[in-house]
Amino acid sequence: MSDEKTLALFDRALAGQAARDALRKLSPRAQWRNPVMFVVYLGSILTSVLYLQALSGRGEAPAGFILAIALWLWFTVLFANFAEALAEGRSKAQAASLRGLKKKTWAKKLAGAEPHRAQGREALRFTPVEADLLRRGDLVLVEAGDLVPADGEVVEGVASVDESAITGESAPVIRESGGDFCAVTGGTRVLSDWVVVRVSVNPGETFVDRMIAMVENASRKKTPNEIALTILLVGLTLVFLLVIATLRPFSAFAVAQSGAGSVVGLTVLVALLVCLIPTTIGALLSAIGVAGMSRMLQANVIATSGRAVEAAGDVDVLLLDKTGTITLGNRQASAFYPAEGVDEQALASAALLASLADETPEGRSIVALARQRFTALQGQEAPAVARVEAFSAATRMSGIDLPGGRTLRKGAFDAVQRHVQALGGAAGAALQARVDGVARRGSTPLVVADGARLLGVVELKDTVKAGVRERFEQLRRMGIKTVMITGDNRVTAAAIAAEAGVDDFLAEATPEAKLALIRQYQAEGRLVAMTGDGTNDAPALAQADVAVAMNSGTQAAKEAGNMVDLDSSPTKLIEIVETGKQMLMTRGALTTFSIANDVAKYFAIIPAAFVGTYPQLAALDIMRLTSPGSAILSAVIFNALIIIALIPLALRGVRYAPASAAALLRRNLLLYGLGGLAVPFAGIKLIDLLLTGLGLA
């Protein structure tokens, strides 16, 4: 992955392979996939045949002129093939680095299909098998120094994992059973401790396998916008083809009527057709699409299709998780606020017991704060027979059931309040002011209950990331609405939203609420993007138009999304949108340039081709080109060379700056519209002067 990022645009090895691939793409079957360039391909064949006729003395024009036209038409086809092959070559280089992850490894397969819950590593018994023989549902032991043999989820243990081969990041990550950070990827390496992994894929279906297939783009499907543009280009080509087909009969009729001049030749008509049809964008269209997906991969994002990349450019609503995206994501317990009549140590003790089995950073921080504040709690542990109540998005609570019927719960105020009322306790109106006070500061209040009694509030502090407000302002100028998604109550959510500068927020978010919000925006005709990493995010990810799953998240989230962020950075969604917009802008800019630069070719070729029949057309020769032959050849040469000149722009993309759609349109029309008009006049004139200086005019 990181090797690709250091490749030069025209890396010597890639350019050499692309040149060879360009020759291989000269087969009719390969050329037929691009209708515009297929017309140029047929024109190259026709002029080559005309050249052979000219050698035998039956030529319609000098053999040297026909040969020059034929060669430059072949160059035009080859340059178009080279652009596509170079884009594909860069993707294949990325795929080659990924194949390095697929090594033949051995796995330590455990018996049965359920976690052993063994008392330590020594109790586990395994059988060595080849990793390729593992199937979905198999359990494997992975110890320090071992490669993870296949994609899966940790069901027992905790370990430090080196994922640099996938993400390019050298810092190891922690993978453990339970929660949303249990997914492991085949080809990564365990650095310390051990884990039991349940394999989630069959052979050939691993994440790396899918990455390789997506990156190679061997069977890349065209996106809807690309298909629409192709139809437009084909339509323009057919129109010009019909026009050119009528010019020879008109020319013959004019010559017959006037008795002077000569009928325009097939070589000239082919040159005119090639210069009039949108060959520039036709040659670069496929390369732009391939390069767009390649740029996503350079950002460590795997897109399952070009459609997803394109949709990212059209997104106008972003759903962003608060934690880790808008805030730093390291919410830490900072204070205990006991209810009236409750001792602070009693609140801390209950919160500690309810958090001992909670392996989230928040749960661990509650345990740490309680033991730091009260030395009497440093040795407190939960009984072995206690039953843990894990957190769920539906209940929005977690806790522990102790022997003797004692139940401890911590969670959102309204959820714990309902739990207490169900047990016959008071509603806890007295705590409302404390909860609201914590929320107004932008912190998260967790309420602790012991059975039917509310004990108090634990404050969790988080910090809004620096620069987030400015980034959201940029998105607003682009016409994109930002919506913060959080499980916090409305008061806390409103405080964070105001500080961060988001346009709207969804508080106390449940999977059902996220799904309903996405459908609401889509019903209004908007395109929605969101990120997620948990199984509870899967329904919303499946519904969103652009769904970015975290690589560190669950398998369900990855399968529901249409992109995977290898860095597991929630803020990557903003970069994805910018990359998608850059791809759309690149396609639009080059289409504008391609159509605009045809105008200069009209002034070069049309007077040269028909001035013998219609002398009045000499007035259109505003460039004062040396001769009709030089004018036609100069236009054909420029038509070929401009493709090579624009390959770097097609691969890198048009420079993107956050602005409104109207502002971007004005800028591109000015730069690529007027530029497309001006550049060919200068280019064709310079080529004409060069041909004249070399005595070839």
Distances (CA, A) of 584 to 34, 89, 395: 19, 22, 43
Place of tokens 């455990």: 110
From 360, 214, 285, 261, select the one nearest 584 (Cα to Cα). Answer: 285
pLDDT at residue 1, rounded to an integer: 43
pLDDT at residue 637, rounded to an integer: 93
> Over the stretch 543-574, which tens digit does the pLDDT of each residue have?
888 888 877 667 777 778 888 887 777 667 77
163 annotated to bind ligand? no
From 143, 223, 147, select the one nearest 185 (Cα to Cα). Answer: 147
164 annotated to bind ligand? no
Task: Report yes or no: 134 and 149 within 8 Å, Cβ to Cβ.
Answer: yes
CA dist 299 and 168 (Å) reads: 10
DSSP state of 360: S
Task: Report yes or no: 591 and 324 within 8 Å, Cβ to Cβ.
Answer: no
Task: Report yes or no: 225 and 310 within 8 Å, Cβ to Cβ.
Answer: yes
From 658, 557, 650, select the one nearest 86 (Cα to Cα). Answer: 650
Provide the token pair at 339: 């209810």
DSSP state of 59: -
Domains of the chain are 12-94+216-299+578-694 (no CATH), 106-214 (2.70.150.10), 309-326+465-566 (3.40.50.1000), 330-463 (3.40.1110.10)
From 200, 199, 149, select the one nearest 558 (Cα to Cα). Answer: 200
CA dist 458 and 348 (Å) reads: 9
398 annotated to bind ligand? yes
395 annotated to bind ligand? yes
393 annotated to bind ligand? yes
Q: Where are the alpha helices (DSSP H) in 195-278?
A: 207-216, 224-258, 266-276
Task: Report yes or no: 265 and 612 within 8 Å, Cβ to Cβ.
Answer: no
Would you name the residues annotated as active-site residues?
321
Burial label for 19, CB within 10 Å (0-12, 13-18, 19+), is middle
Task: Report yes or no: 159 and 175 within 8 Å, Cβ to Cβ.
Answer: yes
From 184, 456, 262, select the one nearest 340 (Cα to Cα). Answer: 456
Beta strands in 62-212 (DSSP E): 106-110, 126-130, 139-143, 152-162, 173-176, 183-184, 189-199
From 598, 594, 666, select the one nearest 288 (Cα to Cα). Answer: 594
Q: What three-state secondary structure class fits 566?
A: coil
Name the phi and psi angles at 52, rounded to 5. Answer: -65, -40
396 annotated to bind ligand? yes
Q: pLDDT under 70 in the chain at which residues?
A: 1-11, 90-104, 112-123, 165-171, 178-181, 205-223, 259-261, 305-306, 324, 328-330, 393, 552-553, 570-571, 611-614, 660-661, 697
Provide the token pair at 126: 């395994």
533 annotated to bind ligand? yes
Amino acid at 622: I
Q: What three-state secondary structure class fits 459?
A: strand
Dihedral of alpha carbons 432, 435, 436, 437, sign: positive
CA dist 348 and 597 (Å) reads: 74
Provide the token pair at 565: 């962020």
pLDDT at residue 39, rounded to an integer: 93
CA dist 30 and 27 (Å) reads: 5
**Within the chain, how many helices (H) and strands (E) appear?**
24, 20
pLDDT at residue 540, rounded to an integer: 86
Burial label for 484, CB within 10 Å (0-12, 13-18, 19+), is buried
394 annotated to bind ligand? yes
433 annotated to bind ligand? no
DSSP state of 430: G
What 3 state SS string does 316-346 have? CEEEEEHHHHHECCCCEEEEEEECCCCCHHH
pLDDT at residue 50, rounded to an integer: 92
127-136: long-range pairs with CB below 8 Å, 24+: 130/104, 130/105, 130/106, 131/104, 131/105, 131/106, 131/107, 131/186, 132/104, 132/203, 133/203, 134/107, 134/109, 134/199, 134/203, 135/199, 135/202, 135/203, 136/199, 136/200, 136/201, 136/202
- Tell me the β-bridge partners of 401: 387, 407
392 annotated to bind ligand? yes
Residue 595 belongs to what H/E stretch? helix 572-610
Residue 601 belongs to what H/E stretch? helix 572-610
Burial label for 524, CB within 10 Å (0-12, 13-18, 19+), is exposed
362 annotated to bind ligand? yes
Name the phi and psi angles at 550, rounded to 5. Answer: -75, 140
